[in-house]
Amino acid sequence: METTVKVQQVSKSFGKKTVLSGVDLNMEKGQIYGLIGPSGAGKTTLVKMMVGMDMPDEGLVEVLQTKMPSLAMLQQIGYMAQSDALYNELTGEENLKFFASMFKMGKTEQKERISYAAELVNLKDELGKKVAAYSGGMKRRLSLAIALIHNPSVLILDEPTVGIDPELRQSIWNELTRLKSDEHKTIIVTTHVMDEADKCDMLAMVREGKILTRGTPEQLKRQYHATSLEEVFLQAGGRES
């Protein structure tokens, strides 16, 4: 198996607060990885390091065998942050075009990618509206479309389906599963939604800046003698946020 993301002995503090401590993770190509854990556990800090937006104090983060942060890797990584970074005064389509223009892409490919991404998140009919007039869920959907716009091989999604209705949530997960199976993308999601965690190939439970346990959803359930991931989560000492 090919390693896509390698996190080695990563530690990080903000002031006196230790947010990550000795984290090791290996993520293989063509899998969906879920990071679960209570609010404040360090999940966002960890994924930001994979994107190159934050630096470890100690340790190493590599994506596709390249030490992060790396400008060259931005073409390979699609990132959806927890808060939307969109241009409110531009329309949905203008936002997509703007972000697409930052990547190496021909005009035809750009059109195709915008169409694909807008379709996936069910925003085709709303693309002409200014983002200022979008609902919270529509903004999340546009952010997801932007993360996918350059057809990255690694997708890093921080709570991607918050504020998205169940039907669309399901179709997004179907597409994530297809991207993994057919296009061998590596997908990393943070989530508080346990039925989404169940759809991941591998899970790592983060708590107080450490990886408490990891494995497939089935392995974690067996390890904790639990029938659901919710039970695993609670038994592992997490709190719902």
Ligand X SMILES: Nc1ncnc2c1ncn2[C@@H]1O[C@H](COP(=O)(O)OP(=O)(O)OP(=O)(O)O)[C@@H](O)[C@H]1O
Residues found near ligand X in the complex (CB under 6 A): 14, 19, 37, 39-45, 82, 241
Only one residue has tokens 């021909």, namely 106
Alpha-carbon distance of 226 to 240, in angstroms, equals 17
Q: Which is nearer to ligand X, 29 or 40 (CB)?
A: 40
The arrangement of strands across the sheet holding 154-158 comes to 77-80, 154-158, 186-190, 32-36, 202-207, 210-215
In the complex with ligand X, which residue's Cβ is closer, 82 or 110? 82
> Smaller CB distance to ligand X: residue 17 or 107?
17
Minimum Å gap between C-beta 39 and ligand X is 3
β pairing state of 58-63 and 66-67 = antiparallel
Instruction: Give min distance, CB of 236 to ligand X, in A.
Output: 14
Q: How far is the CB of 24 from ligand X (least distance, A)?
A: 17
CB of 14 to ligand X, least distance (A): 3
| Closer by beta carbon to ligand X, 61 or else 123 | 61
Burial (CB count <10 Å: 0-12, 13-18, 19+), residue 178: exposed
CA–CA dist 88, 16 (Å, integer): 36
In the complex, least distance from residue 186 CB atom to ligand X, rounded to whole angstroms: 20
**C-alpha span between 46 and 205 (Å, rounded):** 12
**Beta-ladder partners of 31:** none
At 42 the three-state DSSP class reads coil
Q: Which is nearer to ligand X, 113 or 214 (CB)?
A: 214
